[in-house]
Amino acid sequence: MKPEKFSDWLKQSLLFISRDPIVWVSYTLLMGVLLVLGRVSPALGIFLAVVCLFVGVGIAKYIDMKSSEQPVSLGYAINKSLPLAILAATIIVLCWFVFMVMVNIFSGEPEKIGQFFFYWQLTPENLNRQTSREIASWIYGYANITLIFTLLMMTTFASWFTHSLMLFKDYSWSAAKETGNELMSKHQNALYKLLGFVFLEAVLCASVTPLLTPVLYMLTSTLMYISYKNVH
């Protein structure tokens, strides 16, 4: 099998948007609204961010199948993607919570542990910032950290392709991890460039272009699907 190129994946992903821009853009806008909830409850925000990321992979599959002989409905694609997305999001939230508990205990601030589940930050003081970019950077900053953390966890304890194999091929976690790691080793160079690209964009979205955070999430979901489709 010829090694894949990241540039080809990115080009295909960008062209993929034009196949159903209404669905792609609508889901991106929905994510933009849902991610605001992270400033009410960090736990809920992280949970919704991870769910949106992995459901986006299923939506990319839906867009791809619209022109096939066996198209599926958007509702079917979302419902099929949700269980695995919810499971992944729950694991990420638990890992984040454990880490936060340890930090707060060692820093002598255990009273802040409860703020992980509810911490209303949409106050006039926080919203009264100089520019819309500063407001967006404050609102979506955690989402960019969540994206980096999720991809690091996924590639460290599973593989880049594990989720797609479980979603589209009904693999068990162990089988998907083993197969995914084999695929990663064959296309290591392309995957390192892909992850570097996403991490760099996440850093830029956290400070320079925060309003593009939902776009980055949907683009990452599309890249996950396109890369899986090309190697499997």
Q: What is the pLDDT along the chain (232 residues), one digit of tens a residue?
A: 567 899 999 999 998 888 889 999 999 999 999 999 998 999 999 999 999 999 999 999 999 888 776 778 889 999 999 999 999 999 999 999 999 999 889 888 888 888 889 888 777 877 777 688 888 888 999 999 999 999 999 999 999 999 999 999 999 999 999 999 999 999 999 999 999 999 999 999 998 999 999 999 999 999 999 999 999 7
Residue given tokens 């969540």 in the structure block: 146
What number of other Cβ atoms are within 10 A of residue 195's Cβ? 19
Give Cβ neighbours of residue 227 (< 8 Å, ≥ 6 apart). 4, 9, 160, 161, 187, 190, 191, 194
> Of all helices (H) and strands (E), which one includes residue 41?
none
Q: What is the pLDDT of residue 69?
A: 64
The per-residue pLDDT for 49 is 97
pLDDT value, residue 46: 96
pLDDT at position 232 is: 77
